[in-house]
Chain A
Amino acid sequence: MPATAIDVESIIEEHFCLANAAAAVFSQYDQGQTDRIVRAVYEAAFRDRVRLARLAHEETGMGKWQDKVVKNLVASQFVYEDIKDLKTVGVIHEDPISGIVEIAQPMGPILAITPVTNPTSTAMFKILIALKTRNPVIVSPARKARESTVETARICYEAALAADAPEHCIQWLPEGSRELTQAAMAHKSLALILATGGPGLVRSAYSSGTPTIGVGAGNVPVYIERTADVPFAIEQIMASKCFDNGTICASEQAIVAERSVADAVCEEFCRRSARFLSKEEVADLERVAFDHERNAMHPDIVGQPAAKIAAVAGIRVPPDTQLLIAPLGGIGPEWPLSSEILAPILAWYTADSFDDAVNLCIDLNFHGGMGHTASIFSNDDARIKQFASLMNAGRIVVNTPSSQGAVGGLYNMLHPSLTLGCGTGGKNITTDNVTAQHLLNIQRIARRRENQRLARFDTNLFYDESLDPAAFSAAFNRNY
């Protein structure tokens, strides 16, 4: 039964009352105590990674349970390995020369909003980074993934308590309701929102007045440059785009192949059970994949297998079809499949030259994917750098499956994260892979270190309007 207005207020009030108490107790913990709790929670999440993956798959009907196991593995094992040695309590840096000492303080209660596409892995990830920084966390599950998200939080909480964590350091909202989430987002005791979800949710979080680390939408272009190792590139792209049936926001959305390698790319895709669609089939697919009223992908096809989507669209494909590829004549609203589609569907373009290819990638990048991720397959270092400098993307992954590459830890040294900052292009404050270090308030002790130039400078010159900047600078830096 949905919560009434009075229920909402009392439920949220109670959660924050308990979270404030947990924050107060947590603030007394030292690094060793904190790290023991984080280790216990990681081990519990890791132990149940398969069961939770199956639960998430059964509940949401999205993706593949085997791939959700990998996501849970990244969110527990890889995240733990990445943060375990990070100093997050007390003095974390001291520089006797500059006289600056940095002290890490927890932020306070964090609201962890989790998406339906990655419910258990995102919950594990956010709980681990919150506990590592001594912040109590309230998990807000997606409506269609409540059971699996809450079960993840419950397992983590029990493990935390067993490791002497403060009571109520992990809580969860009783249902995935908009009213509860909005009331929680606006609560005066909330320190930070970790908002992972669609643009509407992230905008709502920003509007709540509470500091928010959000994410942006992706629309990842993949440039297959003429020096690319084509069989390798297509193997990587297939492994990425078909991973969990394309539910990761960093998954490839469009292929831009240079003409000189386009035939080889097509051949390789077809050899690996991808199916290129005819013009009529593209129109059929658009009707089921894109919701014109919402101006976004249709939720019913998110995370579904390619053969199932094709069947719904009335397109005859072999049952082992892994990926649908739609050759498109342009980019923008008239070409719905040039937008982000979290399913095994790719847009396809060919380009005559490097400049043409990069221009197409710029258009794709700016069509709903600013700040997120771009991908290139190339063995030409100069072109890789040129491509990267022209993309508006927080992550430019090279010769890498972009789903797994952008998340970090598996194919590169990016921080493993289930919250990928998209910078101001995606209306976010950071382009980083968000992790524990983003959940700290850093205090700086600034010891007296006099500016020697200022100490012996004739301060009367401050008021001498006849001095131009060069003369002032010369006087200020004299004998220095």
Chain B
Amino acid sequence: MSQTCEPREARIYRFESCMDTVACERIEPELQASLAEGEASVVFDLAGVKFVSSAFLGLCVRAYQKTCQFGFEMINVEPTIKRVFKIAGLEDMLKVR
């Protein structure tokens, strides 16, 4: 996982191609700490992400709950991954683009 800030100060997080349970467990403490720090909107950039586990869906929901007051969206989501969020019924809430 990597994080950058754009000029408008959105916090952008990028992820590995395989977001399985192990990957999620590895990044979640750092991610949650980072999310707790700022008050800017949050963008999860899923470019290149090919697999998401249920752990990642949970991670996204928790991230949304923590940051939705500032704005939360997911961008560059490939069709195979978009379909996962659609089937899970999370697409609208997480603003999957």
Interface membership of A461, Cβ < 8 A: no
Contact code string B47-74 (vs A, CB < 8 Å = 1, else 0): 0000000000000000000000000000
Query: Residue B7 at the A interface, CB < 8 A?
Result: no
Complex contacts, B77 vs chain A, CB 8 Å = 359
By a CB distance below 8 angstroms, the chain A residues around B80 are 390
CB <8 Å contact, B86 and A366: yes
Give min CB distance, A131 to chain B, whole Å: 40
What is the minimal beta-carbon distance from A464 to any residue of chain B, in angstroms? 34
Q: Which residues of A contact B86 (CB under 8 A)?
A: 362, 366
Minimal Cβ-Cβ distance residue in A for B77: A359
Q: How many whole Å from B21's CB to the nearest CB in chain A?
A: 24
Give the complex CA separation of A184 and B77 in angstroms. Answer: 49
Question: What's the Cα separation between A355 and B96 when bound, in Å?
Answer: 13
The CA of A386 and the CA of B78, in the complex, are separated in Å by 12
Is A407 interfacial (CB 8 A cutoff)? no
A358 located at the interface, meaning its Cβ lies under 8 Å from any Cβ of chain B in the complex? yes
A37 vs B4: C-alpha distance when bound (angstroms): 74
Q: Which residue of A lies closest to B96 (CB)?
A: A359
User: CA A355 – CA B78 in complex, angstroms?
Assistant: 6
With a cutoff of 8 Å between Cβ atoms, the chain A residues found around residue B82 in the complex are 359, 362
> Does more than half of chain A's interface fall in helix, strand or loop, or is it mixed?
helix
User: Contact residue range for chain A?
Assistant: under 10
Assess whether B79 is interfacial by the CB under 8 Å rule. Answer: yes
Identity of the chain A residue whose Cβ is nearest the Cβ of B85 in the assembled complex = A362
Question: In the complex, what residue of chain B is closest to A357 when comparing beta carbons?
Answer: B79
Contact partners of A359 in chain B: CB under 8 A: 77, 79, 82
Q: In the complex, A385→B12 CA distance in Å?
A: 33
Query: What residues of B have a CB within 8 angstroms of the CB of A366 in the complex?
Result: 86
CB neighbors of A among B76-97 (8 A): 77-80, 82-83, 86
Minimum C-beta distance from B41 to chain A (A):
20
Closest B residue to A387 using CB positions: B79
* Complex interface residues of chain A between 339 and 364 (CB less than 8 A to chain B): 355, 358-359, 362
- For the complex, give the distance between the alpha carbons of A366 and B90 in Å: 13
Q: Is the CB of A362 within 8 A of B78?
A: no
**Hey, which chain B residues are within 8 Å of A390, CB to CB?**
79-80, 83
Question: In the complex, which residue of chain A has the Cβ closest to the Cβ of B82?
Answer: A359
Closest to A354 in B: B79
**A366→B80 CA distance, assembly (Å):** 14
Residue of A nearest to B87 (CB): A392
A458 CB → nearest B CB, Å = 40
Rounded to whole Å, the gap between the CB of A343 and the closest CB of chain B is 27
- Nearest Cβ on chain A to B48's Cβ, whole angstroms: 12
Give Cα distance in the complex from A390 to B57, angstroms.
19
- B44 CB to nearest A CB, Å: 16
CB of B80 to closest CB in A, whole Å: 7
> Please, how many angstroms separate the alpha-carbon atoms of A355 and B80 in the complex?
9
Chain A 377-403 interface residues, beta-carbon cutoff 8 Å to B = 386, 390
Residue of B nearest to A358 (CB): B79
The smallest beta-carbon distance between A330 and chain B, in angstroms, is 11
By a CB distance below 8 angstroms, the chain B residues around A358 are 79
Residue of A nearest to B78 (CB): A355
Q: Which residues of B contact A (CB under 8 A)?
A: 77-80, 82-83, 86
Binding site for B on A (CB under 8 A): 355, 358-359, 362, 366, 386, 390
- 13 more A-B residue pairs beyond the given contacts A358-B79, A362-B83, with a C-beta to C-beta distance below 8 A: A355-B78, A355-B79, A359-B77, A359-B79, A359-B82, A362-B79, A362-B82, A362-B86, A366-B86, A386-B79, A390-B79, A390-B80, A390-B83
Nearest 6 interchain pairs by C-beta: A358-B79, A390-B79, A359-B82, A366-B86, A359-B79, A390-B83
> 9 A-B residue contacts at CB 8 Å?
A355-B79, A358-B79, A359-B82, A362-B82, A362-B83, A362-B86, A386-B79, A390-B79, A390-B80
